[in-house]
């Protein structure tokens, strides 16, 4: 499931669809993208440089952002006044001064936090600053970077996310593809940032302090998909990444991955599967998703139904013997013990365990590709 041909296709589309990178945008608009300052006390042996501009400045402790209730705001307790003994940096390492003044953004692998408050970032944290007249555009870009399509892009532009602790450097940040936003689009995204930052009626976040809750993520993704006119296969790949695959980084299996699938999620899977098969065959399909003893049996039938039909049904006591029979007759379909695909002339069957990751919309795209390929081979249209 990770990473699939469909993910590669979506990634290629996003990279080719946008005419500029974040680095090119920053150059043209006189923005700065820099890592923070390498602050040093006075009593160190290495060469240091005193920076009077740091006197009285606040510094961000990014570790205190974890577990916060609002991931779009910099809470006051995460900022503290620099000690007078810390107004020094490694000699010659002053580039981070370019991102200490607002409006600016603190960039992380989860998203970007916009702020109108001046503060210092410590190395290797990344900041993006802009002239005051570009405040709306900078906030709009920050909002884009929280969306599923751009979290998807950010992950694949960095070679270090997911290695040990997820980090990102300036070069991959500058390489993130971006659309050319009109002033109206930028204003719309900036307005949504303010709306979500104010709490989205108290139902915004998932409680981790690092991510949006489902309602806010869907609201943002819907707006981004609409503004940028992204095709369905890109929307699906990006949302699957944000909801499921991003949680599997570093080999972890979070509860979201293993939990049973809801009826709504099964219906969404069946809808995508039906659409793909109908588009291929030119006739409608009925998809029935039947829960059975910790697994889900997906029955797909081709026929003259007038319109595609999707049904999610309770336990139908499907006989395990029937599954064993298919396994014996068509061992080539049993790729793993918990996943069996069977294709006949006008129908198909899929058995998989009832885990969320097995029944996403993105997995429906992959499964439709598999069923179509199996049908073509079964019909003898290509040599095996």
pTM of the model: 0.84
How far apart (Å, rounded) are the C-alpha atoms in residues 222 and 120?
A: 34
DSSP structure class, residue 259: S
What is the distance between the terminal CA atoms of the chain, rounded to a whole angstrom? 23
What's residue 2's pLDDT? 59
Per-residue pLDDT of 83-140, as tens digits, reads: 888 899 999 999 999 999 999 999 877 779 999 999 999 999 999 999 999 999 999 9
In this prediction, residue 68 carries a pLDDT of 64
Domains of the chain (ranges; CATH) run 11-230 (3.90.220), 263-378 (no CATH)
- Please report how the helices 135-146 and 214-228 are oriented relative to each other, as an axis angle in degrees rounded to 10: 120
Contact between 284 and 300 under an 8 Å Cβ cutoff? The reply is no
pLDDT (tens digit per residue) in 289-300: 999 878 899 999
- Comparing 52-56, 179-183, 255-259, the range with the smallest average pLDDT is 255-259
CA pair distance 110, 107, nearest whole angstrom: 8
pLDDT at 290: 93
Please write the tens of the pLDDT for every residue from 145-172: 999 999 998 888 776 665 545 567 899 8
């Amino acid at each position: 499931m990770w990473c699939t041909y469909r993910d590669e296709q979506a990634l290629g589309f996003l990279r080719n669809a946008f005419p500029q990178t974040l680095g090119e945008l920053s150059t043209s608009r006189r923005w700065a993208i820099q890592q923070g300052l390498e602050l040093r006390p006075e009593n160190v042996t290495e060469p240091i440089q005193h920076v009077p501009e740091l006197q009285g400045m606040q510094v961000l402790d990014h570790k205190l952002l974890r577990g916060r209730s609002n991931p779009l705001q910099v809470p006051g307790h995460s900022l503290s006044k620099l000690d007078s003994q810390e107004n020094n940096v490694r000699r010659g390492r002053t580039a981070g001064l370019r991102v200490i003044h607002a409006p600016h953004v603190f960039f992380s692998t989860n998203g970007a936090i916009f702020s109108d408050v001046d503060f210092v970032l410590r190395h290797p944290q990344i900041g993006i600053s802009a002239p005051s007249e570009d405040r709306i555009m900078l906030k709009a870009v920050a909002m884009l970077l929280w969306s599923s399509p751009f979290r998807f892009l950010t992950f694949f532009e960095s070679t270090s996310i997911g290695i040990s602790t997820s980090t990102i450097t300036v070069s991959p940040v500058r390489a993130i593809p971006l659309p050319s936003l009109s002033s109206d689009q930028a204003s719309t995204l900036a307005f949504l940032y303010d709306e979500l930052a104010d709490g989205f009626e108290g139902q915004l976040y998932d409680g981790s302090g690092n991510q949006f809750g489902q309602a806010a993520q869907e609201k943002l993704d819907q707006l981004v998909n609409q503004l940028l006119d992204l095709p369905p296969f890109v929307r699906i790949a990006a949302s699957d990444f944000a909801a499921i695959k991003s949680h599997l980084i570093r080999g972890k299996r979070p509860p979201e991955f293993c939990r049973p699938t809801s009826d709504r999620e099964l219906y969404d899977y069946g809808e995508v599967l039906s659409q793909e098969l109908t588009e291929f065959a030119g006739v409608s399909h009925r998809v029935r998703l039947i829960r059975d003893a910790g697994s889900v049996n997906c029955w797909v039938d081709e026929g003259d139904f007038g319109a595609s039909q999707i049904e999610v049904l309770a336990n139908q006591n499907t006989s395990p013997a029937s599954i064993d029979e298919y396994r014996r007759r068509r061992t080539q379909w049993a790729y793993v013990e918990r996943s069996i695909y069977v294709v006949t002339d006008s129908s198909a069957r899929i058995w998989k365990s009832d885990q969320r990751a097995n029944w996403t919309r993105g997995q429906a795209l992959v499964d439709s590709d598999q069923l179509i390929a199996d049908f073509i081979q079964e019909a003898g249209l290509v040599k095996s």
